[in-house]
Structure 1
Amino acid sequence: MMRTLRHLSLWMLLAGTLLAWQSAMARELPDFTELVEEAAPGVVNISTTRMVESRNPFQGFGNEEIPEIFRHFFGDRFPMPPGQAPGRPQERQSLGSGFIISNDGYIMTNAHVVDGADEILVRLNDRRELAAELVGSDERTDVAVLKVDASDLPTLRLGDSDDLRVGEWVAAIGSPFGFDHSVTAGIVSAIDRTLPRDAYVPFIQTDVAINPGNSGGPLFNLDGEVVGINSQIFTRSGGFMGLSFAIPINVAMDVADQLRDGGEVRRGWLGVMIQPVSRDLAESFGMDEPRGALIADIDPEGPAAEGGLQAGDVILAVDGARVHDSSTLPRLIGRTAPGSDVELELMRDGERQTLELTLGDWPDSGSAAAGESRDSQQARLGISVVELDATERERLGIEGGVRIAEVDPTGAAAAAGLQPGDILVSIDHRAVTSASQLVSLVSELPADRAVPVRLYRDGRSLFVALRLAGD
């Protein structure tokens, strides 16, 4: 009997300890209920409609490219799908999210949510549906501002994305797959992420579940403040895989303010072509660590040339903000207003120096991130390049080739997957021997047809397909 009582007491003690542990764990986990109740009214669902011209699914194919079975039954005349006729407009719809930033009807979302839309409809939390007007959008940061005709709307509180720390809890509200006001939560996985085609956004990486329809929705900190706009995910399946990316609200609001004030976004321009600083290059420049942005070339008509910058300078800081690597410089320069004076800290001939110059206005025909070539053919390709030295060519066993210094995130090269640091060896089966010869090759490339590009990346040779848009 005593043994039974001792066993019972032991089990009761263990059960009590387990309950206490569970209670302590519950207290440690965040409670998002108040956040959602307060913020949900300021989050909206966005649906868009655009009219596209229907086309025969075999339009544009040569006879030799059409499957034999279709040519056997239809010859050279192929029917349109049921209910469609060539040239008849077809309605396409898409869904996204957004949030209200002013009580007089201004709404923020992603540019890709409303891209090409003929009609934009905003559905509020109280189920009202309002037609929206596109105030402006910026493709480079993927930010758009809408306006609805309403007043006294509920707004969200904006936080400071610069205060975010890796590991802190965040939550998202949006409309994944059209399920309005769905809430998901997670932590900040990383900050200042640079994605291949987005040179101007220091993305917030999270593990918050984001799916189609969440785009444009707000990312909150535990204080219920918006710290980002959920923009994209990394996925191999088409669905969420634990890697989500948000535009910092500080970046987004700078863009939104410019769109509201003038309908366009102006960015500072330096006029240089840059490349990463490797460990060996850092040592050769007398630096104790590989950081900063190495100037590979300078636009002779740009602000950098006028201000005294030289090829071979390594930019270490802009107005006191550290340039961690070459991807940091475009963001620091791009977010500074044209005409502003900036102080650059740089390494030149093994010595630290400071230089002050005035930024120009981003040229309409610009090509690459912080350094642009004004040559129209390189702009057409969307890259800037630097020559290889004899040592690099001997190491790779090639006679020609050029190194890609920068890639325009909206250009054809970025779409094909080319990256800064890649060594371009051939294009359309023709060897690339120099930067000037590349210009001639690009001018002869066909539009709207994929051509093979051979390059070296991380010591390995690979091919990618490049397709230039029509002029």
Structure 2
Amino acid sequence: MKWLMTLVLLLMATQAWSKLPDFTELVQESSPAVVNISTTQKASNRYHQFDLPQGVPDIFRHFFGVPPQAPRGNPAPRSQQERSSLGSGFIVSEDGYVLTNNHVIDGADQIFVRLNDRRELEAKLIGSDPSSDLALLKVDADNLPTVEIGDSENLKVGEWVVAIGSPFGFDYSVTAGIVSAKGRSLPNENYVPFIQTDVAINPGNSGGPLFNLDGEVVGINSQIYTRSGGFMGLSFAIPMNVAMEVVDQLKETGTVTRGWLGVAIQEVDKELAESFGLDKAAGALVSQVVENGPADAAGVKYGDIITEFNGKKVTLSSDLPHLVGRVRPGTKAKLRIIRHGKAKTLNVEIGALPNGGDVIASNSNMPQQSKSNRLGIEVVELTQEQRKKWDATGVMVKSVKQGPGANAGLINGDVITMIYGEIIRDMSDFNRIAEQLPAGRSVPMRIVRRGAPMFIPLRINQ
């Protein structure tokens, strides 16, 4: 009887094993189009340090190639040395266009592409886009093997994917896993809805392709989540649909322009949703509208909640930059918004994303006049100078006592510009609105804090 049970278990295990995918054919057909990328660079006059871009948390690391360790003793100044950086890439056209990550070639004096047949060719940088971390190279060769470009929109969570690259310089290493999530937003990465996978990715895999089981490239391996510098189960790839839009622009002009709506937005949490009378927390809450920007011209107002852009739902506020950034400037688009609890559609002409934007400054120079109210806060009117400097109306919080204001998170220096859909122009507006606020429910309050506009929920219990 035992032998029969053992046989059944073996048959079940064999059957389960037979359902696992076989990657051999995929790897054999796709590997010739994957390349190794190395660079030489005359570095700055200092010893080497492994630096992350300013503002990026250490836990999110790009995979810069690991440079040789400095010799013992007193190493020569960096200006007298050259540094090699290793990464990956793949050929997207027979005439020699190669796609990789921007951080793989950033600052390089020379770029070399090593092919599967061991040829090494010097590459020309056609253009790069730091915002999406993509770079397009060109080598002087013909009839090169190419990858097949897939549709990343069709990827499904749980689907098998395969990466080919050069982790730690080990060429043509193959790893496999599944799609863990789609549309991930990472710190300081506003325009890429990353594909999250559990494929083993390490330094040197940067710029390499992510394949689906049909052998199509659906992503470009770009970042990892790590505490140690190595793979920990979370990898992030740039969707191929986003990458090819960048490639088209780099081929045409060598640069990339992105769509711009001209709004500052914030997440809609449960309490804010309740304060705006929404059934669920979803959408992008407009906290600021840039004067004379595309949204301003279309009639968007702060306090509007954007729920759709060109027919695509905006569930999280981070969804909106992904959608707008991919639209070419000058394109007509439709915004679905909720204003005062009612849905409305606005037509907007998308602008070009500027290099910088205006910042609302804060100022601690407060006038003497003050007033207390049922919110448990003391406020002062803005001076003419402050109104002109900030291009805003409202009242400034001078002190916060125990009460609804403190519970809402107000702090000294906050400028209150709107409560419950009504604009605050001066002290009389504030006092009148504060006295009329309903008790027992949350209402939205717009404030400007250290130059950043935002909405917070305010609740008066009695």
Short-chain TM bin: 0.7 to 0.9
Aligned-partner SS, 2:287: strand
- 2:329 paired with 1:338: yes
Contact 2:43 2:83 in 1 (8 A): yes
**Residue 377 and residue 148 in structure 1: after superposition, are their counterparts in 2 closer, same or farther (change >3 A)?**
farther
Whole-angstrom CA distance in 1 between matches of 2:345 and 2:23: 48
**Residue 22 and residue 348 in structure 1: after superposition, are their counterparts in 2 closer, same or farther (change >3 A)?**
same
**C-alpha displacement of 1:161:** 0.6
CA RMSD for the aligned pairs? 2.6
Q: Give matches, 1:63-78, under 5 Å.
A: none
Aligned to 2:412: 399
**Residue 214 and residue 83 in structure 1: after superposition, are their counterparts in 2 closer, same or farther (change >3 A)?**
same
Contact 2:42 2:79 in 1 (8 A): no
Aligned to 2:30: 39
**Residue 392 and residue 323 in structure 1: after superposition, are their counterparts in 2 closer, same or farther (change >3 A)?**
farther
Aligned to 2:436: none
Q: Give matches, 1:180-195, under 5 Å.
A: 180-195=171-186
Aligned residues: 365
From 149, 157, 162, the equivalent of 1:158 is 149
**C-alpha displacement of 1:23:** 1.7
- 2:230 paired with 1:239: yes
Specify the code of the residue in structure 2 equivalent to 1:398.
I
- 2:195 paired with 1:204: yes
Contact 2:360 2:451 in 1 (8 A): no
Whole-angstrom CA distance in 1 between matches of 2:255 and 2:395: 36
**C-alpha displacement of 1:280:** 1.9
Q: Give matches, 1:337-356, under 5 Å.
A: 337-356=328-347
**C-alpha displacement of 1:286:** 2.5
Higher helix share: 1
**Residue 182 and residue 86 in structure 1: after superposition, are their counterparts in 2 closer, same or farther (change >3 A)?**
closer
Contact 2:335 2:345 in 1 (8 A): yes
Specify the code of the residue in structure 2 equivalent to 1:363.
P
Specify the code of the residue in structure 1 equivalent to 2:239.
P
Specify the code of the residue in structure 2 equivalent to 1:399.
N
Contact 1:393 1:400 in 2 (8 A): no
From 112, 130, 136, the equivalent of 1:121 is 112
**C-alpha displacement of 1:392:** 4.9
Alignment TM-score, normalising by the size of structure 1: 0.73
1:266-307 residue CA offsets vs partner (Å, 9 max, x unmatched): 111111111111212212222211111111111112111111
Whole-angstrom CA distance in 1 between matches of 2:358 and 2:102: 27
Q: Give matches, 1:257-406, under 5 Å.
A: 257-365=248-356, 373-375=357-359, 391-393=404-406, 395-396=408-409, 398-400=411-413
5+ residue gaps, structure 1: 1-9, 58-79, 366-372, 379-384, 404-433, 440-471
1:189-216 residue CA offsets vs partner (Å, 9 max, x unmatched): 1111111121111111111000000010
**Structure 1 range deviating more: 45-54 or 393-402:** 393-402
Whole-angstrom CA distance in 2 between matches of 1:96 and 1:18: 45
Whole-angstrom CA distance in 2 between matches of 1:44 and 1:86: 32
Specify the code of the residue in structure 2 equivalent to 1:374.
D
Report runs of 4+ in structure 1 exceeding 6 Å deviation: 385-390
Aligned-partner SS, 1:36: helix
Contact 1:53 1:89 in 2 (8 A): no
5+ residue gaps, structure 2: 49-70, 363-391, 417-446, 453-462
Specify the code of the residue in structure 2 equivalent to 1:39.
S
Specify the code of the residue in structure 2 equivalent to 1:313.
D
Contact 1:173 1:218 in 2 (8 A): yes
**C-alpha displacement of 1:325:** 1.2
Contact 1:172 1:184 in 2 (8 A): yes
Aligned to 1:463: none
Specify the code of the residue in structure 2 equivalent to 1:345.
R
Contact 2:164 2:209 in 1 (8 A): yes
**C-alpha displacement of 1:163:** 0.7
Q: Give matches, 1:422-461, under 5 Å.
A: none
Whole-angstrom CA distance in 2 between matches of 1:402 and 1:94: 49
Specify the code of the residue in structure 2 equivalent to 1:205.
Q
Specify the code of the residue in structure 1 equivalent to 2:94.
N
Specify the code of the residue in structure 2 equivalent to 1:53.
S
Specify the code of the residue in structure 2 equivalent to 1:89.
Q
Whole-angstrom CA distance in 2 between matches of 1:334 and 1:117: 28
Contact 1:54 1:90 in 2 (8 A): no
**Residue 213 and residue 358 in structure 1: after superposition, are their counterparts in 2 closer, same or farther (change >3 A)?**
same
**Structure 1 range deviating more: 336-345 or 281-290:** 281-290
From 110, 119, 133, the equivalent of 1:142 is 133
Contact 1:345 1:355 in 2 (8 A): yes
1:198-237 residue CA offsets vs partner (Å, 9 max, x unmatched): 1111111111000000010000111111110000100011
Specify the code of the residue in structure 2 equivalent to 1:350.
G
Contact 1:319 1:343 in 2 (8 A): yes
Specify the code of the residue in structure 2 equivalent to 1:400.
G
Alignment TM-score, normalising by the size of structure 2: 0.74
Whole-angstrom CA distance in 2 between matches of 1:268 and 1:100: 28
Aligned to 2:210: 219
Contact 1:44 1:99 in 2 (8 A): yes
**Residue 351 and residue 166 in structure 1: after superposition, are their counterparts in 2 closer, same or farther (change >3 A)?**
same
